[in-house]
Amino acid sequence: MKVAMGQFAVAREWQKNAQTCIQLMQQAQQAAATLLVLPEAVLATDIHDPGLAVRAAQPLDGPFLTQLLTASQQSAMTTILSIYVPDGPQRAINAQVALRGGEIIARYDKLHLYDAFAMQESQRVTAGEVVPPLVEIGGMKIGMMTCYDIRFPELARRLALDGADVLVLPSAWVRGPLKEMHWETLVTARALENTCYLIAVGECGPRNIGGSLIVDPLGVAVARAAEGPALVFAELDAERIKSARQMLPVLANRRFSRPELGA
């Protein structure tokens, strides 16, 4: 399966971000990608105005997503991204959605909010409560995670035990001491310990590291972006997953009970 990572810096104006997303969708479609993953919270942001993302939140039938759904109508490609949707006065939900054929085929509300490194996402954002069902794309089963979720191995393991072949991780990974190392180490670990592909797409720009990365089921980085805007492609191989799980049967060998996260 051919997949694409669309890395960009999210702007303050939702109209500009919608245009960027649509351009990346068109480019990925032209390259015959089956799946495009975009960053986290792509609707609007401003590092000098931390409350903007929540104030700019739109419902799933709002103009931002409506434009993207229209752009997806003539293609079988699936696009996965995250936006803030309203959740009462001055609050929002960080909703990850999968778009295909003009429809939202899956939604996941971020479980783990970024209350770390002097930031408090929970001040304005309501946490999700449910682990989403897997999405079938290109003959593979896809599990959905968002950014800070990568630091919680039980979610990735739950998705793998549910049958995920691939984990996707739209992100906005904030810069800081050793944060690039954290990013690559965690993405690699979640892929390797679950013998899954992991597609981790980061926002770039002045606050975030970019560094989008695809790691295969044996912990090998098969594609990556640097710190600037990029559209990067890779091939995911179902036989690689099968082979990895035969050589390294960690899912079969585990001794602990099945995680009940979100049950």
* Catalytic residue IDs: 40, 110, 147
| DSSP letter assigned to residue 149 | G
C-alpha to C-alpha distance for 145 and 164, rounded to whole angstroms:
12
For the chain, how long is the longest CA-to-CA vector?
A: 52
Q: Where are the extended beta strands (E) located within the chain?
A: 2-7, 35-37, 78-86, 92-100, 103-109, 125-126, 135-137, 140-144, 166-171, 197-202, 213-215, 221-224, 230-235
Q: Is residue 134 within 8 Å of residue 159, measured between CB atoms?
A: yes
Backbone angles phi, psi at 54, to 5 degrees: -75, -40
Contact 99, 71 (CB under 8 A): no
The one-letter amino acid code at 263 reads A
In the DSSP assignment, the letter for residue 138 is T
Q: What DSSP state is assigned to residue 208?
A: B
* Rounded Cα distance, 48 and 6, in Å: 24
DSSP 8-state class, residue 125: E
Q: Calculate the CA 182 to chain-centre distance.
A: 17
Residue in this structure with the two tokens 């939900």, named with its chain if needed: 93
